[in-house]
Amino acid sequence: MFEKIVRNGTLMTVIVLIITLLGVLAALRIPVQMIPDLEVRTITVVTQWPGATPQDVEKEILIEQEEFLRNLPNLRRLTATAHSDEAEIELEFPFGVDITDALIRVNNALSQVPSYPDTVDQPQILSTSFSSNSFMYFSVYPLPGNPRGLDMDMMRDFIDDEVRARMESVQGVSMVQMRGGAQRQIQVHLDAQSLAQFGLTVVDVRDALRARNRDVSGGELDSGKRRYLLRTVGRFGTLEDLNNLILLRQGDSLVRLQDVASVTLDHSPVREVSRYNGNPVITMAVRRETGSNVIDIKYAMLDQVELIREEVLKPAGMTMSLISDDVRYVEASVANVWTNLAIGAAFATLVMFLFLRSVRITAVGVIGIPICTIAAFLGLLIAGRTINVISMAGIAFAIGMTLDNSIVVLESIEME
């Protein structure tokens, strides 16, 4: 069968051209990155509890979550860590486990936890691999001279709402992490003497704030063919609304929050500092999805950042710039491998000609180098692999073996 195919030159040429065309199309579609994608084996559960000590975090969160997570199928290791304000549980699974199914099981297990303290945030479930680490870093800082007098520690919430969401909308981006600054918060500083004067306690103030800072549904009201939905708006909109909160009624007099406390708009304690050129900034770290093309993400992200800079940041007195970019190393590494391939092919051609002493036979052997290289990309696409330093090095080794086999075959043909 193969002998008939080889003897039919037209059919062989058509087959080679088809393989070459498919290989070129595959090379244009395969993602490019520095290293191969590594299989995800760990799932991390992070639960925030502002103001809590590690002892309280362990007792109220970790012990409750461990009770349901430790029975997960295929779980190899569970590591729980209690920090100030945060609980972290790392779940490790063996190779071959379907991580999507594991994520569903983890989410179902956490939903069985009876309850958390009132100020505990919902647990966050994260699943990432080393190969999808951050590869682009941007810095957000005030315009030259800081014309608006911005405090970057206070701008974290604004950047989180207006900038991060737009950056995460870029195709191939899985997450944008923020570093620096702190979340805004309204701080109520109580006066102990004023509380004692009116017979109030800290608990009374806390309960009043919790009870009044909410919107309450009032049901429905039917009027002829129309139906109205009633809603009582009670959430605080400004600091003045908070200052006017009624804590106590004494006859005709009212005790308001401003009578026993001072209310200020500030931020939570700064626990991480990000600086650029010695000035405080907000750093944005971009992480990619597994199997995505870092080069395509880079240029799409730069276009998006330009829009964000003009439409969002500039009117607010800020700007944004790229401070670090690992994609250039990817491009340089892949280009270096291509250069080495070309040099190797040139030397191989020279060595073949010196030993075979025939231009025609050398051409027959050398023409297999680009064909085999292009066909290798078709194999990478079918196997779901990416163009990276490791796969390109493998292709280079395979070309060397192909060349050796070609020489042996050519010598056999010549001898016959």
CA 35 to chain centre: 17
Is 46 or 119 the better-scoring residue by pLDDT?
A: 46
Residue 411 pLDDT:
67
Look at residue 1 in the predicted model and tell me its pLDDT.
54
Cβ-in-10-Å burial (0-12, 13-18, 19+) of 77 comes to: exposed
Mean pLDDT computed over 58-65: 90
Residue 332 has pLDDT above 70, yes or no: yes
In the three-class reduction of DSSP (H, G, I as helix; E, B as strand; rest coil), residue 182 is classed as coil
258 burial via Cβ count (<10 Å: 0-12, 13-18, 19+): middle
What are the structural domains of the chain? 2-34+330-415 (1.20.1640.10), 39-128 (3.30.70.1430), 131-183+268-325 (3.30.70.1320), 184-267 (3.30.2090.10)
What's the CA gap between 94 and 77, in Å, rounded?
9
Residues in contact with 162: Cβ distance below 8 Å, sequence separation at least 6, in sequence order: 312
The distance from CA 70 to its chain's CA centroid, rounded to whole angstroms, is 27
Whether pLDDT at 272 is above 80: no
Rounded to whole angstroms, the Cα distance separating 56 from 52 reads 6
Tell me: the pLDDT tens digits for 107-116? Answer: 999 988 888 8
> So what's the pLDDT on residue 201?
87
User: What 8-state DSSP symbol labels residue 132?
Assistant: G
- Is the pLDDT confidence value at 2 over 60? no
State pLDDT tens for residues 186-227. Answer: 888 888 888 888 888 888 888 888 878 777 777 777 877 788
CA distance 344 to 397: 10
- Locate 241 and state its tokens: 């609304």
* Pairwise pLDDT comparison (9 vs 148), residue with the higher score: 148
Does the pLDDT of residue 37 top 80, yes or no? no
Look at residue 416 and tell me whether its pLDDT is greater than 60: no
Percent of the chain predicted with pLDDT > 90? 4
β partners of residue 248? 255
Residue 31's pLDDT is 73
pLDDT band at 34 (very low <50, low <70, confident <90, very high): low
Contacts of range 329-338, beta carbons closer than 8 Å, 24 or more positions apart: 329/34, 330/32, 330/33, 330/34, 330/294, 330/295, 331/295, 333/34, 333/389, 334/32, 334/387, 334/388, 334/389, 334/392, 337/389, 337/392, 337/393, 337/396, 338/392
What is the per-residue pLDDT for 132? 59
Q: What is the pLDDT of residue 291?
A: 66
Q: What are the pLDDT digits (tens) for 212-222?
A: 877 777 777 78
354-412 pLDDT tens trace: 777 777 777 777 777 777 777 777 877 777 777 777 777 777 777 777 777 777 776 67
- Rounded-to-integer distance, Cα 368 and Cα 345, Å: 11
Q: What are phi and psi for residue 27, nearest 5 degrees?
A: -65, -30
Q: How high is the pLDDT of residue 231?
A: 77
Give the pLDDT of residue 395.
74
Lowest mean pLDDT among 29-33, 35-39, 268-272: 35-39
CA distance 391 to 386: 7
Average pLDDT, the chain: 81
Q: Which residues are CB-neighbours of 370 under 8 A, at least 6 positions away? A: none
Percentage of residues of the chain with pLDDT beyond 70? 93
Compute the average pLDDT of residues 155-170. 88
Q: Is the pLDDT of residue 81 over 80?
A: yes
pLDDT given at position 38: 61
Which tokens go with 105?
Answer: 């099981």
Enter the pTM of the model.
0.66
What pLDDT band is residue 306 in, cutting at 50, 70 and 90?
Answer: very high
Cα(161)–Cα(181) distance, integer angstroms = 14
**Helix 327-356 / helix 359-366 crossing angle, nearest 10 deg:** 150
Which range is least confidently modeled, 25-29, 51-55, 100-104?
25-29
- The pLDDT of 300-312, averaged and rounded, is 91
